[in-house]
Amino acid sequence: MNPITKFCLLFLSALILVLPAHAIENNYKGELNFIADGQNYRITDLPAFKDYPAESAAKQLASDIDWASEKDAWRFRTRLRAGLKNGANFNGHYAVITHGCGTSCQLNWIVDVENGQVIGTITTSLGAQYRLDSGLIAADLADNSTMEELDAASPHLNAIRFYTIEDGKLILIKSLNVYDEIKKLSTVKLKQDHAFWEEISKRPDVKISTENGRKTAHFSSGVSMTSKHKGVDRSGKGAVLCGWEMYVALRNMVEICSPSEESEIMKNLNYAIEKTNDFIVANSLHPVTKADLEKGIKARLIVLKEDMSMLEEYDIRQECSSGHAAQAKKRLISLSSEEFRKSVDDFLSIPRPPVMEPCL
């Protein structure tokens, strides 16, 4: 494997261990990406936090819960009082107070902290996501990494709900039946799949084999692609999409740690990303533009900044000065620009479909 890709892989795998487990919370931005039956699915145009601005911040804190606003509230007075004391955490002046109600069950109380009124309750299996600066609350919304681990038959996927507050009342905006969405998307995917294999079978550099009803396309460059669109790069140069992810991750980390630095290392990483972008656009089996790739780069930088913001300032300084980011930077500095760029050119020297495997 290309030496640059090797140490980028080491850098990224180590970096993942540094970020806290809760850093993925509230990264939901109006779409879901998950895997069902080995296929990638994407559900878009869902309610997003940014589309529901929060109400005004709390001007006062009620001395107690308004017990008359919800007849069952008194049974949970200890938890509710403790939650009220902690103040608002949702929609400006509301608190979401959560406690367990059995196996894989949470009861979420929505309380107006200014007057102590219980606005409503939401029962969940996977919890609720909400923000102080937004009026949206999502019930049983697994984050993307969890969604990828769930099977399509999981009952959790059948009951994703989105709520907001209007005129002091909890309102259901949307209920998402993922089974129905999968059926719709599967029909589209079958049509796209048929067209994909029809087109790819015409290529002179491809041989198609079929085993147990599953097709595999073998490219003369050393890349193979299965009927589930899982690609493996055996060219000896490395998986292009994996290398792209590593270059982007390293440049983003350098930008965070040294935002004002205009060094040779940034020029070299920009060179690597630009060259790899061109390669992906030219060789991808599915239409992709440089604008699409740049959008992906910006999105990764935003997520990384959000994740790093979860760390203590001391931990960030340590990571930037002597952690994995600093080590990776030192290794890059040890190479001349000519050596680095020659390595990138070698990595991309064989035209081939860009795939992710083998990677981490």
pLDDT of the chain, 360 residues: tens digit per residue: 444 444 444 444 434 333 332 222 456 788 877 655 556 667 788 899 999 999 999 999 999 999 999 999 999 999 999 999 999 999 999 999 998 887 678 899 999 999 999 999 999 888 899 999 999 999 987 654 444 444 444 544 557 899 999 999 999 999 887 766 666 666 655 666 677 778 888 889 989 888 877 788 899 999 988 866 678 999 999 899 888 888 888 888 888 787 666 578 888 889 999 999 999 999 988 888 888 888 888 888 887 777 677 667 777 777 777 766 667 777 777 778 898 899 999 999 999 999 888 875
Give the number of domains in the chain.
2
Would you say residue 210 lies in a domain? no
> What's the burial of 280, exposed, middle or buried (CB within 10 Å: 0-12/13-18/19+)?
buried
Residue 326's domain comprises 3-22+237-347
Final residue belonging to a domain, choices 155, 176, 197: 176
Please check whether residues 265 and 294 belong to one and the same domain: yes
Q: What CA–CA distance (Å, rounded) separates 319 from 328?
A: 11
β partners of residue 41: 34
Please check whether residues 16 and 113 belong to one and the same domain: no
Nearest partner of 12 among 232, 343, 340, 325, judged by Cα: 325
Would you say residue 30 lies in a domain? no
pLDDT at residue 153 in the model: 46
Contact by Cβ (8 Å): 262, 23: no
Please check whether residues 43 and 171 belong to one and the same domain: yes
Contact by Cβ (8 Å): 15, 246: no
Would you say residue 17 lies in a domain? yes
- Please tell me what DSSP assigns to residue 24: G
β partners of residue 122: 108
Please check whether residues 58 and 14 belong to one and the same domain: no
Please check whether residues 57 and 123 belong to one and the same domain: yes
Phi (first) and psi of residue 19, to 5 degrees: -70, 140
Would you say residue 184 lies in a domain? no
Would you say residue 355 lies in a domain? no
- Please tell me what DSSP assigns to residue 75: G
Please check whether residues 14 and 67 belong to one and the same domain: no
Return all residues near 68 (Cβ < 8 A) that are at least 6 apart.
Answer: none
Angstrom CA distances, 347 to 8, 162, 221, 321, stand at 13, 45, 13, 29
Please check whether residues 274 and 329 belong to one and the same domain: yes
Please check whether residues 64 and 96 belong to one and the same domain: yes
Following DSSP, what letter does each residue of 15-49 receive, concatenated? Answer: HHHHS-GGGGTT---S-EEEEETTEEEEE-S---G
Please check whether residues 250 and 289 belong to one and the same domain: yes
Final residue belonging to a domain, choices 145, 160, 176: 176
Nearest partner of 343 among 357, 360, 331, 327, judged by Cα: 331
Would you say residue 195 lies in a domain? no
Final residue belonging to a domain, choices 134, 154, 176: 176
Please check whether residues 86 and 14 belong to one and the same domain: no
Please check whether residues 298 and 342 belong to one and the same domain: yes
Would you say residue 187 lies in a domain? no
Would you say residue 28 lies in a domain? no
Please check whether residues 162 and 253 belong to one and the same domain: no
Q: Is the pTM of this model over 0.95?
A: no
